[in-house]
Each structure stands twice: as C-alpha cells, then as structure tokens.
Amino acid sequence: AYAAKLAQHRAVSHCYLRPVYDDWPYNLYTTVHARSVDECESIINDLAIDTGLTQKQALFPTREYKKSRVSFFARDAEEWEEANGDLRIRTTA
C-alpha cells in the first residue's frame, strides 16, 4: 500500500523494493527529483506524512552521471544502410 501511494506522487520517478540487511533496515526505495536538498527533504517529509510512514532516510548522490538519449533514425544508421545495401532476411511463403 505504501509503494502504490508513493509511486503516484509527481516528484517520484522510481519506486521499488529491495532486501533489508542487519545494518540497513529499509526495503522501500523511491527516487525523488528536486532542485535543492531542502526541496528534496520537504518532498520526503510530505510523502511520509501522506503515507503515514514514520521511518525514512534520505540518500543523496555523490556523483552525477550524464545520461544520453537514444537517437532513433540517426544519420549514421542511414549511412550504414546506404553503404551496406539491403541486408534484410527474406523468407518465402
């Protein structure tokens, strides 16, 4: 029930379960997007109040990884097709 409610919040992009460990008791994780630490903590507090969760721990990234978008119909793919001709598999009925 907690996960479904958390996942519906517009600031949450991911919500998933993980195993618990002796030194880490949390099993429900969400990814929250905000522009500052204060804004993020405010969102986390609002989520806790909305869901009734009493235990929470914020984890902040120490490094940002740049993601690149998938490029469909890229020029290099067209160039490869032009250079390699029609290599599609043909079948007969």
State pTM to two decimals: 0.62
40-64 pLDDT tens trace: 999 999 999 999 999 999 998 888 7
Q: How many CB atoms lie within 10 A of CB 47?
A: 19
Q: 56: exposed, middle or buried (C-beta count within 10 Å: 0-12, 13-18, 19+)? A: middle
65-82 pLDDT tens trace: 777 777 777 777 777 777
Closest CA to 10 of 38, 42, 43, 39: 43
Residue 91 — very low, low, confident or very high, per pLDDT cuts 50/70/90?
low
Closest CA to 57 of 19, 92, 24, 8: 24
Q: What is the pLDDT of residue 61?
A: 84
- Taking CB atoms within 8 Å and a gap of at least 24, the contacts of 39-42 are none
